[in-house]
Structure formats: C-alpha cells, structure tokens
Amino acid sequence: MRGEIRPGTPALCVPSSDAVIDGVRDAFEDQEVTPVGSGLGEDQEAGRREVSGETEAPAPATAG
C-alpha cells in the first residue's frame, strides 16, 4: 500500500469490516480516486485500534 499513497497526496482511509472494494469503487466512480484495499491481521488490527483510541474490538457481524 505504501507505493499507492505518496506524501502530499490526500488519502481517505475507511476502516470497515467485510467491506467490498467493488462497492467502494462504485461509490466513487465519478471521482478521480483509486481505491486500495488492505486486510489487517489480528495483531495489526489490535495495533490500529490502539493508535486510534478504540478500546475494544467490534462485535462480529451477524447475517440478517
């Protein structure tokens, strides 16, 4: 992902569980953006929660 984001270039990070990159791409189809997807492992997700101030993991999604 580092090769996709460069200093001085705006970036929008959308943390989401079970996100579908095609849906994100469709939402921004009229914009000059390049969606970049990245999955985090458990340790990386825990680190992301720590630096963002989240105190606990979100509850698992349920089908409904």
5 within a domain of the structure (yes/no): no
What pTM value is reported for the model?
0.38
Q: Is residue 36 part of a domain?
A: yes
| Domain ranges, residue 39 | 21-52
Other beta carbons less than 10 A from residue 37's beta carbon = 11
SS3 52: helix
- The answer to the question of residue 33 being in a domain is yes
Structural domain includes residue 62: no
In a domain, 46, yes or no: yes
Please report the pLDDT score of residue 62 as a whole number.
62
pLDDT recorded at residue 59: 61
Query: How many domains is the chain partitioned into structurally?
Result: 1
Per-residue pLDDT for the chain (64 aa), expressed as one digit of tens each? Answer: 667 677 887 777 777 666 667 777 788 888 887 777 777 888 888 887 888 787 766 666 565 5
